[in-house]
Amino acid sequence: MKKSILLFVFTLACSVGFAQNLKTMKWYSKPVKSAVEGQSLKMTVDPGTDYWRITHYGFIRDNGPFYFTEQTSDFEASVKITGAYKELFHQAGLMIRIDNKNWIKTGIEYVDGVQNVSAVVTREVSDWSVVPRHDSPKSVWLKLKRQRDFVEIKYSFDGIKFDMLRLAYFPPKVKAMIGMVAAAPGKQHFDVTFEDFKVQPIK
């Protein structure tokens, strides 16, 4: 009996140790409406928000809601995202960021009625790559690994099988913000739920 209790306590401690404490995280551009409930973050993304830098469009946007923690060492971040995308460029995902000129965001971006698995890598200027999903999946799972001088992005639609989307340079040994990001560049807001956000160190 005692062994069973000890095993239960040990298992619980391990699971708690790996869970991210969402209430201790910080906001960059906090939305008007948001709520942390257990291991989920719900927000209504305000219109007129985006992250982009110069390329093709010629403008700079740096004001989307971003809920983050900070890390200097190597890590892997993961999250499940469910969004009610409805207007062009509605988006939600993960972001790793040093400053307004050095960041990577990845997730779902809604373009012409299609959900696209998307990655934007910004070093002074932004680039953009997408994988269209015409079946409009309900949710997407993301993994973002920062190790040495690179970031690796993987995605899944069942939380089990992950495919690689992008491998990109990212400055090593520099403190970076990592967290959940969203944007609604147009005139309509939308709702999104982030679940089970975790940041685990890589040894």
pLDDT at residue 7 greater than cutoff 70: no
Burial class (CB in 10 A: 0-12, 13-18, 19+), 140: buried
pLDDT tens track for 51-84? 999 999 999 999 999 999 999 999 999 999 999 9
Alpha carbon distance 163, 161 (integer Å): 7
| Domain chopping of the chain, boundaries | 22-201
pTM higher than the cut 0.85: yes
Architecture (CATH level 2) of domain 22-201:
Sandwich (2.60)
Q: What is the dihedral of CA 77, 62, 92, 16, to 10 degrees?
A: 30
pLDDT tens track for 144-188? 999 999 999 999 999 999 999 999 999 999 999 999 999 999 999
Looking up tokens 């809601």 gives 65
